[in-house]
Chain A
Amino acid sequence: MTTWVFCEEQNGNASPSALELLTKARGWGDVQVFYVGAGSDTAFTQLGDHGSSAVHHLDVGDRLPAAAAAAALAGLVGESDIVLFGMSSTDRDVAGRLSARTGCPVLANAVEIDPSGEEVLVTNEILGGTTRVVTAATAGPVIVVARPKAFPAEQNGGGAPGVTAVPTPDVGHPGGASVLERHVEESEGPDLEAAAIVIGGGRGMGGAAEKWEPVANLASLLGGAVGATRAVVDAGWVPYSLQIGQTGKTVKPDVYIACGVSGAMQHLVGMKDSSLIIAINKDPEAPIFSVSDLGIVGDVHKVMPALNAALENR
């Protein structure tokens, strides 16, 4: 059995999901990476340091990689193998195409993967994270798409892996689509998905600019990142890239402070696994309190300025 981890290069680095999945899978036996991108020594070393012995590198230049990646991957994987993907659009695109090519199902949204028994067991959460379903694949290769942050990424000092170039297969028409432009998300402070502290602002903040300021101030005082609910993003107070939840980002910081957030299921699935959750909401019945370690029933525009002033004076 070989485990394959899919990795799409991101700004010269390995994707965070690949490092998480390598950490999870390296104890199972042989783990190899299928890598898509221009290629960088930094990224390859990151992969080696997280337990990959070998990297298969496909570079399709400016073309969209999924069709070629799936075709090449289908030629490499065997029936007893496991193929792990993250949730980026390229990851999911390749997983779906690989499923079509191999006739094997995709087990999606995984939060746990266990190949130790006779069958590979994959756990996912349904109904807004309230119910866990364990599914076994009965045909291989077993293709799994894992949720971001389901597993922590930890180095084990493996060093530089061997890199083999994979020739670009001819996939005809679907291989013709190409990337015209790339936009890099600009943000100040720590990266939302990696930050140890996240301040999540909701509609209860009451507006953009000065009404939102306490959220940004608290984040900068604690060295954390700013996140938001969909209501806030839809209202245009902050950019879409800050949205946390089902249709936004998944965060798992040490501390999450929810400010004027009601705690809708679609928001909770993106942050409920934070280690410590603190909420400020004027409604004592707000669902956010049911997942909070500390809940302050009060007005964000009274509690937060007092909190920020106290932190400033420390």
Chain B
Amino acid sequence: MQAKKKPVDTKTCADLGVSPTAQQVIRSVEPVPARQAGEIVEDEGEGYLKIIEKLEEAKVI
């Protein structure tokens, strides 16, 4: 309530001696193509074999 009684002094940019100009301009905004979800496998005790297969495909093992 006290705050509401305080004077509000409004200044323009010119009062402060500044003239703001945009120095960066947005040229486009686009969604990023979503990464395709791959294969989803329920683990029935053999799920690890799928991982091994993938790692072999990727030639890391």
User: Which A residues form the contact surface with B (CB < 8 A)?
Assistant: 103-105, 107, 121, 125, 129-139, 196-197, 222, 254-255, 257, 272, 275-276, 278, 280, 284, 289-299, 302-304, 306-307, 310-311, 314
Contacts and interface: CB of A to CB of B under 8 A. Distances in A.
Interface residues of B, number: 32
Contacts of B38: 292-295
A299 B42 CA distance: 10
A296 B41 CA distance: 5
A50 B61 CA distance: 31
- Closest 4 CB pairs between A and B? A298-B43, A293-B38, A307-B48, A296-B47
B54 A276 contact: yes
B51 interface: yes
A205 B7 CA distance: 57
Given A104-B23, A276-B58, A303-B48, A292 B37 contact: yes
Contacts of B16: none
Interface of B: 22-32, 34-35, 37-43, 45, 47-52, 54-55, 58, 60-61
Contacts of B24: 105, 107, 135-138
B32 A293 contact: no
Given A294-B38, A307-B52, A311-B52, 5 more contacts: A132-B28, A254-B60, A276-B54, A303-B43, A307-B48
Nearest to A129: B32
A275 B60 CA distance: 12
20 contacts: A125-B32, A131-B32, A135-B24, A136-B24, A138-B22, A222-B60, A276-B54, A278-B54, A280-B51, A292-B40, A293-B54, A294-B50, A296-B51, A297-B40, A297-B47, A306-B47, A306-B48, A310-B48, A311-B52, A314-B61
Nearest to B57: A276
Contacts of A139: 23
A138 B20 CA distance: 13
A84 B24 CA distance: 16
A254 B58 contact: yes
A302 B51 CA distance: 13
| Interface residues of chain B: helix, strand, loop or mixed (majority) | mixed
Given A289-B40, A303-B48, A307-B48, A294 B54 contact: yes
A134 B26 contact: yes
Contacts of B42: 284, 297-298
A137 B22 CA distance: 9
A201 B56 CA distance: 22
Contact of B32 (A132, A134, A278): A132
A156 to B, nearest CB: 26
A289 B37 CA distance: 7
A270 B61 CA distance: 25
A298 B58 CA distance: 22
A278 B31 CA distance: 24
A144 to B, nearest CB: 11
A58 B42 CA distance: 57
Contacts of A107: 24
B37 A291 contact: yes
